[in-house]
Amino acid sequence: MPNWGGGNKCGACGRTVYHAEEVQCDGRSFHRCCFLCMVCRKNLDSTTVAIHDAEVYCKSCYGKKYGPKGYGYGQGAGTLNMDRGERLGIKPDNTPSPHRPTTNPNTSKFAQKFGGSEKCSRCGDSVYAAEKVIGAGKPWHKNCFRCAKCGKSLESTTLTEKEGEIYCKGCYAKNFGPKGFGYGQGAGALVHAQ
């Protein structure tokens, strides 16, 4: 028997959807005003919708609920957060155990590649790939990759090394370079360094 004047049922509210107000998604119909993210209630369209089973989400809430967890995930490229959407009512499926840095002295190629057991040459804490800088043949945190004397941030072109410690070229010259007139302060300086 035909459904005279009626339409499909809304996938959100269950009421009849008439053609003028219909949005179709994944073979289902919605009222335009009901086509909202299940979590944050933002209006959705074909470019912002993400579907999981019979539920519709905006891409951000979908990523928080079902996407990978950890730094850099859940909000799009370039973000660094651990937000899993609890403030939006998303209940994590399983709570990850708190991060515990490894104390395993294993220095296998696998552990070195993924930063599991490499230690920063300055602070001694574990250095992971996202924060690792290699200088003087050793791993450093980006924030620890500084001159041991003045604290200036270093790069491979400004780095000098002595006895396992790293220095900027200026501090190295002042502390370990030749002494006497014309040395220790840069080219052309006439200073007697003690």
* Statement: the pTM of the whole predicted model exceeds 0.85: no
H helices of the chain, in order, are 59-66, 109-114, 169-176
Same fold, 7-68+85-91 and 132-176: yes
**What pLDDT tens digit does each residue of the chain (194 aa) get?**
455 556 789 888 999 988 888 888 888 888 989 999 988 989 888 888 888 888 888 988 888 887 776 555 544 444 444 555 665 566 655 544 444 444 444 444 444 444 356 888 888 888 888 788 888 888 888 888 899 999 898 887 888 888 889 999 889 888 888 776 655 555 555 555 45
**Beta strands 28-31 and 22-25, pairing class:** antiparallel
- In terms of Cα–Cα distance, which of 52, 51, 58 is closest to 76? 58
The residues, any chain, with a CB within 8 Å of residue 192's CB and separated by 6 or more, are 179, 180, 181
Q: What share of the chain is helix, strand, coil (3-state, %, to 5)?
A: 20, 20, 60
CATH number attached to the domain at 7-68+85-91: 2.10.110.10
CATH of 132-176 among 2.60.120.650, 2.60.15.10, 3.30.565.60, 2.10.110.10: 2.10.110.10
Query: One-letter amino acid identity for 81?
Result: N
Query: One-letter amino acid identity for 129?
Result: A
Extents of the domains making up the chain: 7-68+85-91, 132-176
